[in-house]
Structure 1
Amino acid sequence: MPGGRRHGRRAARGGWLARLAAMAVLLSSGSVSMAAPPSGSAKLLRHGTAHDALYDVVFEGERGIAVGAFGNVLATADGGASWQVQPFPMKHLALMAVAMREGKCIAVGQTGLVYAAADCKTWKAAPSMTKSRLLAVDVTRQGLAYAVGAFGTILKSTDWGQSWAVQTVDWSGITDDGAEPHLYDIHVAEDGSVTAVGEFELVLRSSDGQQWKALHKGERSLFGLSVVEGGKKMYASGQSGALLSSADGGATWVSHKTGTGAILTGVHATAQGEVLASGINAVVLSRDGGATWSPLNSKLVRNAWYQALAASEGSGGKRRLVAVGAGGTILELDL
């Protein structure tokens, strides 16, 4: 996975290179602890080459987009059952995240690159506002978008990602010594409020992108964020098997024991209380809102990393939950 840290800036501890080193150790050791007997299963939908890593996936109904290394973009129109390689104008850098809303898409990645597509097919580069790696992006139905990434980088767009403005944050009141934390995931609510997670176990909230407050702090990095029930319930996943939940819109957070010490990079939750977290050699599942957990029973999961999770929804409420990650692999997860 792409990494690196620039010199000459105050570096937040536990950053991207440390995350990569931990991933390498876990990939070579391959063991995680279990909280309960294994449950669920995984089905291989697609497997690429060793260089085809996928870092994010998103669905809107049955349409979906997955993005990854070397400008790799895959598209599906049947809820994830089949995937096709989509032409993309850039092939030398990684796309780290993608957002889809109202049939429009935004993808972000290395060196601050941003691409927007009004039809999720024809991608056009937006003017670059940063050289920092962008690691997450989200957008509302009105086209309000935020992207976050390395060294506390936050960008805001009001036109579906065609143009962006840097949001300046005073980190001195949020982190020790004013360290600029990497931000790994973000959610933009339809009312314009923004929630971001990142290093120092930070959960941040802003109503306008300019003034930010910390809702939660800790020791571990948080990499994934999932929001359900109109924003009332939230889940965040991270280092050392971290899984946090909030039942009051993010005001307070509870830590859950997932039974694994693996890095959990992705999390997906449903209104029915199902919560799934994916990461390095591990996928863990809760059916009761995080109270109890069990590992997914599949060698496909135990031998690779899966960066992100998303679910499609077809006619009659039929859904397909997929995980994307190493080697361009896409798994269907059966809960």
Structure 2
Amino acid sequence: MRILLPTFAILALAALSFSIRASVDAKDERNVVVSHATPHDRLFSVIFDADKGVAVGEAGLIMGTTDAGKSWTRERAPTDLAMIDVASNGTRRIAVGQMGLILVDDGSGTWKKVDSGTDRRLLQVDLNKNGLAFIVGAFGTLLKSKDGGETWESVAPNWATLYDSGEGDTAVLRDEPTNYLVDVQEDGSVLIGGEYGQIMRSPDGGICWDIVYRHPSDSGESAPTFFALSIRDDGAGYAVGQSGLVARTADHGRTWGYVKTPVDGNL
């Protein structure tokens, strides 16, 4: 189970303590106000595998639990950059974040940096039991690992071709798309998605891509962006995003349908 909080709408996980002390010097009629804020680290993503869980956040913050979240301890991280997402296959753990940051724990409990080959922001990571892993990020970043995150290669496709609807509107792709969703399934198929309301599926580990959902846009405006995705073991799942956008699948992401919602806020 993963909880991912987009950077534009961070949920505070602890209350902010703020106190103000004021004193008045009657003799010179000056007010002196001294304020003290207690900052709290923010966590952006958490994932569980049975009773073991890990949460990552800003400034190199990694918290781990082995008792289903009853207690947490801070884990040593070889970075002070923010980590935006974390994934686990039950043995290996991978965290990603700012400036192309990738951290890997091979099961020893020690995190290490590995080379990503990019300095772009990495937004979500997933891997399966066989060690196949994918990362999506800013401006078309798409990375693949076949060894549980030890080494990575860029496998970004021709985005312009994938975003061409066949109706002459390729101009909608003003920049390489930023993707926020990635799901690596046990059979080696992969789902990615994000900007322009599009979800793509690869049946062969990122070699070929098919468009499995494209949300319609109104009056030439870009379709809303997808931000989060979750699919159960039985194949049922949802993808959610801007303007109340919800899409549902019942077959592990091979096909999707739009779900009308009574809200227009970001999900």
Q: If the TM-score is normalised by the length of the shorter chain, which range does it land in? A: 0.7 to 0.9
Matched, 1:87 2:83: no
The number of residues matched between the two structures is 225
2:162 aligned with 1:166: no
In the aligned structure 2, how far is the partner of 1:143 from the partner of 1:248?
A: 23
Distance 1:46-1:164 versus aligned 2 partners, 3 A rule: same
Q: Which structure is higher in RCO with an 8 Å CA cutoff and minimum separation 6?
A: 1
Structure 1 residue ranges, 4+ long, deviating more than 6 angstroms after superposition:
none
| Corresponding position: 1:56 with 2:56 | no
- Deviation, structure 1 residue 234: 2.2
| CA–CA separation in structure 2 for the residues paired with 1:45 and 1:169 | 37
Amino acid at match of 1:134: L
Residues 1-335 of structure 1: matches in 2 within 5 Å? 20=8, 23=9, 50-91=39-80, 93-119=81-107, 121-175=109-163, 176-177=170-171, 178=173, 179-206=175-202, 207-218=204-215, 219-230=223-234, 232-264=235-267
Q: Secondary structure at the match of 2:139?
A: helix
Normalised TM-score (structure 2): 0.77
Provide Cα deviations, 1:154-189, integer angstroms capped at 9, x if missing partner: 101111111101103101222233541111021101
Answer 1 or 2: which has greater helix percent: 1
Which residue pairs with 1:12 in the alignment?
Answer: none
Higher gyration radius (CA): 2
Q: What is the TM-score with the length of structure 1 in the denominator?
A: 0.62
Q: How far apart are residue 120 of structure 1 and its match?
A: 6.4
Question: In the TM superposition, what is the alpha-carbon distance from 1:47 to its structure 2 partner?
Answer: 5.6
Structure 2 CA distance for partners of 1:184 and 1:120, relative to 1, 3 Å? farther
**3-state SS of paired residue (1:65):** strand
- 1: CA distance, partners of 2:62 / 2:15: 14
Residues 205 and 215, structure 1, Cα contact 8 Å, conserved in 2: yes
* Displacement after TM superposition at 1:55 (Å): 1.2
1:135 touches 1:147 (CA, 8 Å); kept in 2?
A: yes
Contact 2:77 2:112 in 1 (8 A): no
Which whole-Å deviations, capped at 9, do the CAs of 1:95-153 have from their partners, x for residues lacking one?
01101113221011111111101126301110131111110001111111111111111
Does the residue aligned with 1:79 lie in a helix, a strand or coil?
coil
Mapped contact 2:13–2:42 kept (Cα < 8 A)? no
8 Å contact 1:45–1:81 — kept in the other structure? no
Query: Secondary structure of the equivalent of 1:187?
Result: strand
Could you tell me which runs of 5 or more consecutive residues in structure 2 were left unpaired when the two chains were aligned.
1-5, 17-37, 164-169, 216-222
Does the 8 A contact of 2:65 with 2:73 survive in 1? yes
Measured in 1, the distance between the counterparts of 2:13 and 2:71 equals: 7
Residue matched to 1:3: none
Shift of 1:211: 1.9
SS of the residue corresponding to residue 64 of structure 2 reads strand
Query: Gapped runs of 5+ residues in structure 1?
Result: 1-15, 28-43, 265-335
SS at match of 1:197: strand
Q: What RMSD over aligned residues (CA atoms) do the two structures have, in Å? A: 2.3
Compute the displacement of 1:248 (Å).
Answer: 2.9
Alpha carbons 1:146, 1:154 under 8 Å: kept = yes
SS at match of 2:187: coil
> How much identity, in percent, do the aligned residues show?
39
Would you say the 8 A contact 1:45–1:82 is kept in 2?
no
Q: State the AA in 2 paired with 1:116.
A: V
